């Protein structure tokens, strides 16, 4: 049977010239608005009306359709570069809900080796790390995350320079561009100094009552941050030692069934209120581990109806919207988010051939 493909005489993809170079229009439609190139001729040649540098490409919620499995009828390929662009990872760096998710993704990719990726993916990922450096420098927050990424990039450069002929395979110009960008990132990471707040600003943390400080501590979801806070201030050390703090942390990360498997109910009745919730938390952590999803304020979601990756806070265009009857059944079941499953960074990378 003859294979029927797209006509070779078709006009192909629609391309738009942006400040970062040429990009496909369907990629720019996701992930916010980007300014086009100021040259009117370069845009009008593509059949797109251009009116100068204030023109912006229309946008829709960031999303990316993936192929879960290939069959004889469907042969799909998931591209990391297109996925990162369509999900607007670079702009999401400055979103405090998505910052840690993006950084965890960058660390995982760095561990697998950036140099083995295609050139466009290398450039896109390093631009994201540079955006992280700029955001950390502006916000004065999470400098340890940036230093970890900078050290990983330095290790990659040293490792690649020791390979065949003293340089990685591929474009020499592209690698020189990467090295220059990595040096800029390292320069920013080494020069960051946390500025002290305005001395006239009130109230300060040590001036707050213990009740307010306790509520701040209850918002911390990582035991390492609790231990660091206890070392920073005597009042915090007293509050962190309270049983309520560790009891709430334990109930946040583990369900009651898991807690009951660790605790002997008879001993609990005998001990009464003397049980040590800090010890209970660490026993549960060693037994079950801490779910990595809890360290992210927002995690990518996979729609089971249309196999689409999207940010839950933005939503996505779904096939459910095209069928009123099916949409009503979905809403009765809890809405579209009920059909979506979270996608941690490690799971996200499994959709691509790295």
pLDDT tens digits for range 264-311: 644 554 454 567 889 889 988 888 877 666 678 788 988 887 888 999
Please name the residues in contact with 169: beta carbons below 8 A apart, sequence gap of 6 or more.
163
Which residue's entry shows tokens 């609790």? 226
Domains of the chain by residue range? 222-289, 296-351
Rounded Cα distance, 334 and 339, in Å: 8
pLDDT at res. 77: 76
pTM exceeding the 0.85 threshold for the entire prediction: no
Q: What is the mean pLDDT of residues 176-189?
A: 91
Residues in the chain: 354
Residue 287: strand, helix, or coil: helix
* Confidence tier at 162 by pLDDT (50, 70, 90): confident
Chain center to CA of 9: 40
Q: What are phi and psi of 21, to 5 degrees?
A: 120, -170
∠ CA 50-53-55, nearest 5°, is: 55
* Confidence tier at 1 by pLDDT (50, 70, 90): very low
Q: What is the mean pLDDT of residues 199-214?
A: 85
pLDDT at res. 182: 92
Answer left, alpha or beta for residue 142, where phi above 0 means left and psi between -120 and 50 means alpha.
left
pLDDT tens digits for range 73-123: 666 678 888 889 889 899 899 988 899 999 999 999 988 878 788 888 888
Rounded Cα distance, 312 and 303, in Å: 10
Rounded Cα distance, 173 and 164, in Å: 17
Rounded Cα distance, 150 and 341, in Å: 32
Of 56-60, 108-112, 171-175, give the lowest mean pLDDT range: 56-60
Q: What are phi and psi of 131, to 5 degrees?
A: -65, -35
Strands (E), 192-281: none
pLDDT at res. 38: 40
* Confidence tier at 324 by pLDDT (50, 70, 90): low
Q: pLDDT at residue 44 above 60?
A: no
pLDDT at res. 126: 92
* Confidence tier at 225 by pLDDT (50, 70, 90): confident
Q: pLDDT at residue 36 above 60?
A: no
Which residue's entry shows tokens 């390929």? 77
pLDDT at res. 187: 92
Q: What is the mean pLDDT of residues 150-164?
A: 83
Chain center to CA of 349: 12
Residue 121: strand, helix, or coil: helix
Please name the residues in contact with 187: beta carbons below 8 A apart, sequence gap of 6 or more.
none
Of 30-34, 65-69, 289-293, 343-347, give the lowest mean pLDDT range: 30-34
């Amino acid at each position: 049977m003859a294979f029927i493909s797209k006509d070779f005489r078709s006009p192909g993809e629609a391309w738009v010239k942006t400040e970062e170079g040429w990009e496909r229009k369907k990629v720019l439609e996701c992930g916010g608005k980007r300014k086009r190139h100021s040259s009117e001729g370069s845009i009008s040649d593509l059949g797109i009306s251009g009116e100068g540098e204030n023109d912006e490409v229309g946008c829709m919620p960031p999303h990316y359709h993936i192929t879960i499995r290939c069959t004889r009828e469907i042969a799909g390929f998931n591209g990391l570069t297109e996925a990162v662009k369509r999900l607007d990872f670079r702009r999401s760096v400055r979103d405090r809900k998505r910052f840690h998710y993006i950084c965890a993704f960058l660390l995982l990719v760095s561990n697998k080796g950036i140099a083995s990726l295609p050139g466009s993916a290398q450039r896109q990922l390093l631009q994201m790390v540079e955006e992280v450096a700029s955001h950390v420098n502006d916000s004065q927050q999470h400098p340890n995350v940036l230093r970890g990424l900078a050290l990983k990039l330095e290790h990659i450069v040293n490792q690649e320079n020791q390979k065949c002929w003293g340089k990685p395979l591929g474009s020499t110009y592209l690698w020189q561009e990467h090295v220059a960008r990595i040096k800029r990132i390292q320069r920013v990471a080494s020069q960051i100094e946390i500025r002290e707040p305005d001395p006239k600003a009130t109230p300060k943390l040590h001036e707050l009552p213990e009740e307010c400080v306790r509520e701040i501590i209850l918002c911390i979801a990582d035991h390492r941050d609790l231990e660091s806070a206890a070392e920073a201030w005597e009042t915090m050390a007293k509050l962190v030692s309270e049983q309520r703090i560790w009891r709430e942390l334990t109930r946040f990360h583990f369900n009651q069934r898991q807690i009951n498997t660790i605790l002997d109910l008879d001993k609990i009745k005998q001990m009464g209120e003397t049980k040590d919730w800090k010890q209970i938390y660490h026993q549960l952590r060693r037994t079950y581990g801490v779910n990595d999803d809890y360290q992210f304020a927002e995690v990518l979601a996979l729609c089971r109806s249309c196999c689409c990756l999207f940010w839950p806070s933005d939503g996505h265009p779904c096939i459910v919207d095209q069928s009123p009857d099916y949409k009503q059944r979905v809403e009765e079941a809890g809405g579209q988010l009920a059909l979506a499953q979270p996608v941690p960074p490690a799971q996200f990378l499994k959709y691509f051939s790295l």
